[in-house]
Amino acid sequence: MTEIVKGLRLVEVSAFIAAPYAGLTLAQMGADVIRIDPVGGGLDYRRWPVTQENRSLYWAGLNKGKRSIMLNVREAKGRELAHALMTKEGPNSGIVLTNLPARGWLDYEGLKAKRNDLIMLGITGNRDGSIALDYTVNAAAGFPQVTGPEGHDGPVNHVMPMWDVVAGLSAVNGILAAERRRRETGEGQFISLALADTAFSTLSHLGYIGEVQINGDDRPGTGNQVYGTFGCDFSTSDERRVMITAFTPRHWQALQKATGTEDQIATLANELDLDLTKEEARWAARDRIIDILEPWFSDHTLDEVRIALDGAGACWGPYQSFTQAVQEDRRISIENPMFEEVNQPGIGRYLASGPMLDFGKDPRTPVTPAPLLGGNTDEILACELGLGEGEIGRLHDDGIVAGAMA
Amino acid sequence: MTEIVKGLRLVEVSAFIAAPYAGLTLAQMGADVIRIDPVGGGLDYRRWPVTQENRSLYWAGLNKGKRSIMLNVREAKGRELAHALMTKEGPNSGIVLTNLPARGWLDYEGLKAKRNDLIMLGITGNRDGSIALDYTVNAAAGFPQVTGPEGHDGPVNHVMPMWDVVAGLSAVNGILAAERRRRETGEGQFISLALADTAFSTLSHLGYIGEVQINGDDRPGTGNQVYGTFGCDFSTSDERRVMITAFTPRHWQALQKATGTEDQIATLANELDLDLTKEEARWAARDRIIDILEPWFSDHTLDEVRIALDGAGACWGPYQSFTQAVQEDRRISIENPMFEEVNQPGIGRYLASGPMLDFGKDPRTPVTPAPLLGGNTDEILACELGLGEGEIGRLHDDGIVAGAMA
């Protein structure tokens, strides 16, 4: 964690990935993020992967550093408490993050009547409020059609829910920009973000829309090769696989030097009359380049490949399973200051990541595990809303709030 | 675009995706982003996809709304001009974004000597400054091993460079957080972000590290199915494909209703003694559920599927090629206020996306195309650095600066 936005306070009402990821990002930068869940937990409380004891590693991962309160918002009193937290005074408070429909008890205008400068960010599936999830958005955006081994018939989904993560980080941008604006003007606002639009805007930003509308082209599937440049995977003699890229002249030189293929490549360039220092020429000649490189990789072990390529300054990386990544890659260990071992209640000790950003003047502070569901209910009611012990007891008795669930 | 961060000024020295994506995001939120390129353009100036006239659709997409100056920073005078832009006074200026090595003329301490409260964000491959690109980072992170059709041997790369986009959006978070901090304390800082760490932190946040360290498990490959819940693709009678998800009880009910399979699903639940309203039970019974659903999909056209699933409120989406997405999906058209037709110099008129966020109080303003490379050189030298016509002429003559390239 870090304290760069210390003081900032958000209330999060969320499930699944995008909104929790946004809250996590802000919590790890030092914001006080209060996650409100229904009694017993939200839709994502038991989401897989889970431990043998049915604790969700997913939930624990996405809620590190937050505080948790369980409120029954189907009751008027529960909604009143939620609203009091959302609209509490203070220049750094009055920020709400949600991916639930922003209506009913989460209606912006209703909340704004209680705090005029409220900032609220709502994530939807599609812009019109209709349903879309990462997997359906990705299917619509075109990527699965060109992903997968060459010759494979049918779409290949991504495993990593990237549009959720993109939406989460974009939501943080929105909140920080709106809070900056509030400091300038005193005004809050509602910000909306559609998961589908994160993918569709990226199609514009990376040139895919231009390919269709200007070139009349559909980007072809290229297997593991990187379109328009040189990027390809190879097998090593010890049955590992490596991804090699040579996008820049420097990396292209380094690759030839490491593999001792300068002469063969020069001969090829002559034969094809291509300037192979250019990306588009390497793309045009890719099959021939692969033929030249392949024997070298299949003659060397991963360790030999590593020494040669690192020595020459080539750009490459080994393929790793999740287990190999976690067990063998020092970048995923406490040697990386981003990682720490945390003791996650109910789960145990394991490696957890703090923020991906390093702030020179706001150094890292310990990574805080996820709370127990409802683990901060009483403390929040007492300290944030000023309720007395008796009142808190009655709220428990009436089923309006609930405390830590084991 | 929008004007939510209007006034903010950044200098960007970048290539490829992550840093340009960050600058683009800030430019589209209203920041004045000045991109400095070497005379003739940087490594990415002709990057594919390109038009028939060899104009990069990629470069145009990633530099919308920025200003462009070409400076020869191999000359002392060119570096001096770059530093003057980076360290110009003003409370909203003094922000530098780069993915070049932050040393030599881009050394933070050197720049800080010229503006003490400078904010600078540097993106590297690995944290130690060594090389890594999206494709090598993804290989290391484990996802390619579990992506692709079930039974396929070998890793499957993603096509969409997601870690680049994640790094770009995270960089925006870093800049906005540091600028907020500077307003509080008057202090600037250097922020570093390693592309590799964006992937590795996400492994922690989404539970993958816990699976290895707590469960001793590697997440298996599951083809196009979504692990731990119900998500699967189906073919329609007109040879289209659709992605279906049922993560929540509501979507699960809607799916059964739309496909008229309630009775068969109830029978299956009885037979297997599973509560299929739970995600993990649907995962356990997925093959049987698919057997029940498949005939319905293969008996209906995409249009029939659409009417039935939308009518019931199911969560689904068609697979689309990039061409289908751009030509047939109204979400990628001017019906979506995020999109506009822009006239991109040298390329032509096509659809371009503004910011993915909608700010209630800071409405959308027209999407600005990318500049011509060096298209703002003279204007920036005159207006930002106060140089006279004669001086600017001499800089051109001496090869220190260059103007718009056709």
User: Which tens digit of pLDDT belongs to each residue from B284-321?
Assistant: 999 999 999 999 999 999 999 999 999 999 999 999 99
Give pLDDT, residue B219: 85
B-chain CB neighbours of A201 within 8 Å are 338, 353-356
B186 Cβ partners below 8 Å, 6+ apart?
B117
User: Which tens digit of pLDDT belongs to each residue from A114-160?
Assistant: 999 999 999 999 999 999 999 999 999 999 999 999 889 899 999 99
pLDDT band at B60 (very low <50, low <70, confident <90, very high): very high
Q: Mean pLDDT across chain B, nearest whole number?
A: 97
Give pLDDT, residue A151: 85
Tokens representing B387 are 């140089």
Closest by CA to B21, choosing from B40, B55, B3, B44, is B44
* Rounded Cα gap, residues A373 and A45, in angstroms: 8
Q: What chain B residue is nearest to A108 in terms of C-alpha separation?
A: B360
- Residues 59-98 of chain B whose Cβ lies under 8 A from any Cβ of chain A: 60-62, 64
Give pLDDT, residue A333: 98
- Tell me the nearest-neighbour CA distance from B271 into chain A, angstroms: 24
- Residues 367-396 of chain B whose Cβ lies under 8 A from any Cβ of chain A: none
> Interface pTM (ipTM) of the complex?
0.98
pLDDT band at A313 (very low <50, low <70, confident <90, very high): very high
What average pLDDT does range A338-365 have in this prediction? Answer: 98
pLDDT band at A406 (very low <50, low <70, confident <90, very high): low
pLDDT band at B406 (very low <50, low <70, confident <90, very high): low
Q: How many CB atoms lie within 10 A of CB B275?
A: 10
Tokens representing B335 are 């019906």
User: Which tens digit of pLDDT belongs to each residue from B105-129?
Assistant: 999 999 999 999 999 999 999 999 9
Asked if A319 has any chain B CB less than 8 Å from its own CB, the reply is yes
- DSSP one-letter code for A56: B
User: Which tens digit of pLDDT belongs to each residue from B38-50?
Assistant: 999 999 999 999 9
What average pLDDT does range B339-361 have in this prediction? Answer: 98
What average pLDDT does range B155-178 have in this prediction? Answer: 98
Closest by CA to A324, choosing from B156, B148, B209, B125, is B209
- Residues 342-371 of chain B whose Cβ lies under 8 A from any Cβ of chain A: 347-348, 350-362
Asked if A286 has any chain B CB less than 8 Å from its own CB, the reply is no
Q: Are A204 and B351 a contacting pair at CB < 8 A?
A: yes
Q: Mean pLDDT across chain A, nearest whole number?
A: 97
Sign of the C-alpha dihedral, residues B48, B53, B57, B63? positive
* Rounded Cα gap, residues A388 and B236, in angstroms: 60
Q: Are A279 and B48 a contacting pair at CB < 8 A?
A: yes
Tell me which H or E stretch contains B390: helix B389-397
Label residue A151 exposed, middle or buried (CB < 10 Å: 0-12, 13-18, 19+).
exposed
Considering chain A, what percentage of its residues have pLDDT values greater than 90? 98
Q: How far is CA A43 from CA A213, B225, B256, in A?
A: 41, 19, 19
Tokens representing A142 are 């075109």
Tokens representing A401 are 């709030």
A-chain CB neighbours of B108 within 8 Å are 360
Closest by CA to A22, choosing from A158, A127, A123, is A123
